[in-house]
Structure 1
Amino acid sequence: MNIYDKKQVKCSVCGKFIGEIDIKSSIRLPLCEKCNRNEKKIIRKGIDSILVPVDISEKSTRALDAAIYFAKQLGSKITLLYVIPDLKVGNRIFMKEIAKELQKTSKISLKYAKDYCDERNIVAKQMTVRGHEPEEIIKISKKSKYDMIIMGSSGKGMLKELIFGSVSNFVMQNSDIPVLIVKEKSAKIGTKTRLKQRKPNPRHGEGRSFSKMKEKAGLK
């Protein structure tokens, strides 16, 4: 082996000169001894925990499908969140009845979501809070340090979103972590769609022969 069979290399992190290696070496990102030790100490962050706001709707089910897919592929843990709206001051008796209905709805929603996960062999935690839904989703995602938020969207359209607002839009704009918005009419994540078979092209042996086409065009 002569000097032309070697090349000088530097650490790919700090730029320190390491030495010489074989020119045919498969090493692409060489590291010095110090950087190599530091690299081993680094904990590579994955999607370990997913927050899924739920209710009783098709969009919520589609979001659950996506969360379950991620949980199975990456081993992520799922937390189901239901936000009970804060009631404004009003008639005490009337508000008490509404509060009961909201509490009942939250239990039904979480039970449905929990059973949906259980049927697919996914363990999910449940959480109920009171407040303004989009703000609570952001607050909890930061406080508990979730890695991802997956939520459904009904796709109300630009005009309705401008008038009534959008929970998913608020979460996307204010979240510090990745947010996956699953449309209500979207296909279930993880399923394969069958490709339609293309009809045979008449030009490829199914129609007129080349000689007849030439004859019609007046060619010999």
Structure 2
Amino acid sequence: MEERLLTLVVLPYSKAQILKARLEENEIECYLEDINLMEGAATSVKVKIMEKDVREAFPVLEKLLGKKPIAAKKKVEKKDDHILVPVDFSTASAKSCKMAFNIASHLGTKLVFMHCYINPIVHSVPYGDVYMYDSTLLARMDEAEKNANEDFQKFTTKLVNDIGKEKWDAVETDFIIKSGYADEDILAYAEDNNSRLIVMGTGDETANVIGSITADIIYNAKVPVLVVPEKMPEKELSEFNRVLYATNFDEKDFLVIEKLVGLLKPFEAKVFCVHVGKTKQSDWDTAKLEGMKEVLNENYQSKDFDCRLISGDDILEALDSFIEKENIDIISLTTHKRNMISRLFNPSVARKMVFHTQTPLLIFHA
């Protein structure tokens, strides 16, 4: 039977060269094929291997792009400064890409767009022998890869037209298209390559309950995650100037706020540090908030902080009311321990998050 070449992954040229060298070190034949995902962009490369080498090639690819860790890994050294943007071609994804582009242009960072598609060979019979002789699976794999590349090309072409070619060319971009599980691959790449930020979209098809892939990334990412709702009104990044940081007076608050200030550095944004207490306010909560205010004003003298204690037995209703009253543009939370995020995304209360359908969420892992 004649051997066929299969596309393992689409990578930026530099990463494709590294992968080719590593595959050949493992005695795996590898061929590179240039493709143009969009006019004027840096060349992307299809990395192709023989079908018989699929099982041996995937571990090499995972080692390069990252593999979701089972145990905690040591902190990796800082690599190229970039924002990671998962792409699924949805309306929400397009909106998140535009927001990520605006952030990258202000921060002077690179954008890495990543799309993961289901590989019928790997996901139907992983690492088995039968796939080599199943022409139906091979045809489905070719079709899946072809569709992924065509959809990506259409998506990015429209994105560039919406943003404007001159603006687009001012930001460095990379494109990665691979088969796999989106949540695992996004988390692995972000951790192994020390992404500065993950920006991703989410729709509201399930009555305001956040999508499973987005939720998994929020809970497990070691880097900040910005979730952009599909129904968020489109506006310039300079208009996002009122940020809410919801605090439970956690010991990690100041570490998170330091990261938040770093992302907000190019913007004149006012930060509201808000704690929701019971209707009958605690003197201890008031004292902690005053202490927090003093530390922030001392550490960030040029930043505008407004510390508030608001009352309400229902945290969601209290926050929703505050967000509407103060015209909050971005909500920021931390995933540390059983903090506020676990209360907000509990399935039993998620439907009440009216603000979630229109206000971006910036999530930190502390």
Classify the TM-score, shorter chain.
0.5 to 0.7
Q: Secondary structure at the match of 1:126?
A: strand
State whether structure 2 residue 129 is matched by structure 1 residue 129: no
State whether structure 2 residue 96 is matched by structure 1 residue 63: yes
- In the alignment, structure 1 segments of 5+ residues that lack a partner are 1-44, 193-220
Instruction: State how far apart, in whole Å, the 1-side matches of 2:225 and 2:212 are.
Output: 14
> What aligned pairs does 1:1-220 form with structure 2 within 5 A after superposition?
48-87=81-120, 88-89=124-125, 92-115=134-157, 116-117=159-160, 119=165, 120-121=167-168, 122-157=171-206, 166-190=212-236
Amino acid at match of 1:73: H
Offset at residue 123 of structure 1 (A): 3.3
1:175-218 deviations in whole A, cap 9, x for unaligned?
A: 000001111121224176xxxxxxxxxxxxxxxxxxxxxxxxxx
> What is the percent sequence identity of the aligned residues?
23
Provide TM-score, normalisation by structure 1: 0.57
Amino acid at match of 1:155: D
Alignment match, 1:4: none
The change in CA–CA distance for 1:158 and 1:60 in structure 2 (over 3 A counts) is: same
Is the CA contact 1:149–1:180 (under 8 Å) kept in the aligned structure 2? yes
1:87-113 deviations in whole A, cap 9, x for unaligned?
A: 213983332232122212221233234
Offset at residue 159 of structure 1 (A): 8.8
Offset at residue 62 of structure 1 (A): 0.5
The change in CA–CA distance for 1:159 and 1:139 in structure 2 (over 3 A counts) is: same
Task: Name the count of aligned residue pairs.
Answer: 145
Is the CA contact 2:119–2:141 (under 8 Å) kept in the aligned structure 1? no
Amino acid at match of 1:106: A
The change in CA–CA distance for 1:50 and 1:67 in structure 2 (over 3 A counts) is: same
Instruction: State how far apart, in whole Å, the 1-side matches of 2:228 and 2:87 are.
Output: 12
The change in CA–CA distance for 1:155 and 1:68 in structure 2 (over 3 A counts) is: same
Aligned-CA RMSD value: 2.9
Amino acid at match of 2:151: S
Instruction: State how far apart, in whole Å, the 2-side matches of 1:82 and 1:66 are.
Output: 17
Q: Kindly indicate whether structure 1 or structure 2 has the higher relative contact order, using CA contacts under 8 Å at least 6 residues apart.
A: 1
The change in CA–CA distance for 1:105 and 1:137 in structure 2 (over 3 A counts) is: same
Offset at residue 75 of structure 1 (A): 1.1
Q: Secondary structure at the match of 1:150?
A: strand
Is the CA contact 2:183–2:216 (under 8 Å) kept in the aligned structure 1? yes
Moved more, 106-115 or 95-104: 106-115
Amino acid at match of 1:178: P
Is the CA contact 2:119–2:144 (under 8 Å) kept in the aligned structure 1? no
- In the alignment, structure 2 segments of 5+ residues that lack a partner are 1-77, 240-366
Q: Secondary structure at the match of 1:127?
A: strand
Larger radius of gyration: 1
1:57-105 deviations in whole A, cap 9, x for unaligned?
A: 2111001111111012111210010112242139833322321222122
